[in-house]
Amino acid sequence: MESFNTLTNMERTASRMRFCSLMAVPLAATLFTAGAAHAAVVGEVITTYDASVGRDAVMSASNGGSFQHLTCGGDLSHGGSPRYFVDAVTAANYLPDGYLASVLVASDEDCAETRIISNSPDMRFSNLPLWSHDGSRVAVYAQSWELINDNLVEKNGIYVADVTRDGEGRPIGISDLHRVIDSPGEILISWSGDDQRIAYVASAPNGSGGLQNDIWVLELASGVSINATNSPEFDEDHPAFSPVDDRIAFIRMVAVRGTYRFDIFTQPASGGTVTRVTTKGTTGAPRNMFPCFSPDGQYLTFSSGTALYPWGGVDIYRMKADASGKATNLTGKRTGSFTVPKWRP
């Protein structure tokens, strides 16, 4: 039986396959035109990644309509007009380990223009950077490389940077890039609604002399982290803060008749009652992952499938965050393998 860590690492790798396939972008470039994709959709929409074609897409959060693949993608900013995607692409320069560095890029919502905003040639970024809700900062898992006394030093973890904008509100750069969370491997993260905390995944004792994953919350001002779930009997991953209150959603590996399910739960970030959101009857599939709250905190979207992503069909569902009512399949009429849904108003 594969462990939770092995499975989630494989799924993280699969969800980032686009990172390995992107063309190199010269660091000297500051702006290029990709051609308008008309990505903007009126009303509430979500973005998702379709592994079957290796592209991001945007669609309606109510019924999955207005679906269209994008020429750009990433995390879509919460405010402003137009809104901007942030993503990471490979750069032209090689780091000391022989692999390419990468840079952060910002694209307008119509994918008409994309500009490099990161300013450090010695970084390798995950392709899941996240805007803060107010758009003033960006957080991303990254590796920082430098040579000290001819020894290669690799610093892994979550980095945060301030976003620089021009007079029209367009992101044009970052500053004060610094590591706030150490981590030996890539982890999924989420900003709190007030942008003062970051939820992430880290190991903790499991009560049997081993380790399991819990959901932790870092207070950025103090630098203090707390184990929010602190559940020695369970492995947990995929944290997602509610944008309007203290709740966090996450996935938990649950043993069922000799096998495992991955289901979504919620609880206050400060601790308290745990609510199970998905069960066997929710979608009929055992792998429910990548939860994301709606802007008003009333709904969750998540990916659900029967096989290891992306080799089996995976769909995006929407349901009430309090687990009432039925789940609505937003992508069921389309062929594809969809994951990492994100809302925006």
Whether residues 209 and 268 share a domain: the answer is yes
More confident residue, 38 or 44: 44
CA separation for the pair 321, 318 (Å, rounded)? 9
Tell me 298's DSSP state: S
* Residue recorded with tokens 């779930």: 229
Task: Kindly state the percentage of the chain with pLDDT values over 70.
Answer: 87
Average pLDDT estimate for 159-188: 94
Residue 144 has pLDDT above 70, yes or no: yes
Whether residues 176 and 201 share a domain: the answer is no
Whether residues 55 and 125 share a domain: the answer is no
Give the CATH number for residue 326.
2.140.10.30
Beta-bridged to residue 130, according to DSSP, are 139
Using CA atoms of 183, 254, 47, 241 in order, give the dihedral in degrees to the nearest 10: -60
* Residue recorded with tokens 């809104």: 83
Whether residues 235 and 317 share a domain: the answer is yes
Q: Environment class of residue 336 by beta-carbon count within 10 Å: exposed (0-12), middle (13-18) or buried (19+)?
A: buried
pTM of the shown model: 0.89
pLDDT band at residue 32, thresholds of 50, 70 and 90?
A: very low
Q: Are 308 and 12 in contact (CB under 8 A)?
A: no
CA separation for the pair 107, 314 (Å, rounded)? 27
Give the residue from 185, 203, 237 where a domain finishes: 185
Q: Are 334 and 68 in contact (CB under 8 A)?
A: no
pLDDT at residue 19, as a whole number = 31
Whether residues 55 and 122 share a domain: the answer is no
Give the residue from 120, 153, 185 where a domain finishes: 185
More confident residue, 123 or 254: 123
Residue 213 has pLDDT above 80, yes or no: yes
Residue 321 has pLDDT above 80, yes or no: yes
pLDDT at residue 18, as a whole number = 35
Average pLDDT estimate for 117-127: 92
pLDDT at residue 4, as a whole number = 39
86-95, 142-151, 261-270: range with lowest mean pLDDT? 142-151
Query: In this structure, what are the phi and psi dihedrals at residue 204, rounded to the nearest 5 degrees?
Result: -150, 155
pLDDT in tens, 249-295: 999 988 887 788 999 999 999 888 999 999 999 999 999 999 999 99
Whether residues 32 and 47 share a domain: the answer is no
Whether residues 176 and 287 share a domain: the answer is no
Residue 207 has pLDDT above 90, yes or no: no
Whether residues 87 and 229 share a domain: the answer is no
Number of domains in the chain: 2
Residue 17 has pLDDT above 70, yes or no: no
Average pLDDT estimate for 318-343: 94
Q: In 53-62, which positions are buried (b, 16+ CB within 10 angstroms) versus exposed (e)?
A: eeebbbbbbe
For residue 228, the enclosing domain spans: 43-70+188-345
Give the residue from 127, 151, 185 where a domain finishes: 185
- State the average pLDDT for the chain: 86
Residue 115 has pLDDT above 90, yes or no: yes
Whether residues 150 and 107 share a domain: the answer is yes
pLDDT at residue 193, as a whole number = 96
Average pLDDT estimate for 187-207: 92
At residue 115's C-alpha, the angle toward residues 50 and 140, to 5°, is 60
pLDDT at residue 171, as a whole number = 96
CA separation for the pair 293, 277 (Å, rounded)? 12
Residue 102 has pLDDT above 70, yes or no: yes
Show Cβ contacts of residue 149 under 8 Å, excluding neighbours closer than 6 positions: none
Residue 9 lies in a domain: no
pLDDT at residue 38, as a whole number = 66
**Sign of the torsion angle spanned by Cα atoms 27, 32, 35, 36:** positive
66-70, 176-180, 210-214, 276-280: range with lowest mean pLDDT? 210-214
pLDDT band at residue 315, thresholds of 50, 70 and 90?
A: very high
Q: Give the β-pairing of 130-131 and 123-125.
A: unpaired
pLDDT at residue 291, as a whole number = 97
pLDDT at residue 35, as a whole number = 52
The helix/strand/coil state of 46 is strand
pLDDT at residue 9, as a whole number = 44
Q: Environment class of residue 124 by beta-carbon count within 10 Å: exposed (0-12), middle (13-18) or buried (19+)?
A: buried
Residue 3 lies in a domain: no
Residue 112 lies in a domain: yes
pLDDT at residue 129, as a whole number = 96
Residue 138 has pLDDT above 50, yes or no: yes
Q: Which amino acid is at 265?
A: F
Residue 107 lies in a domain: yes
What DSSP letter does each residue of 86-151 carry, written as one string?
Answer: EEEEEEEEEPTTSSEEEEEEEEETTSSEEEE----TTEEE-S--EE-TTSSEEEEEEEEEEEETTE
Residue 174 has pLDDT above 60, yes or no: yes
Whether residues 327 and 254 share a domain: the answer is yes
Whether residues 76 and 66 share a domain: the answer is no
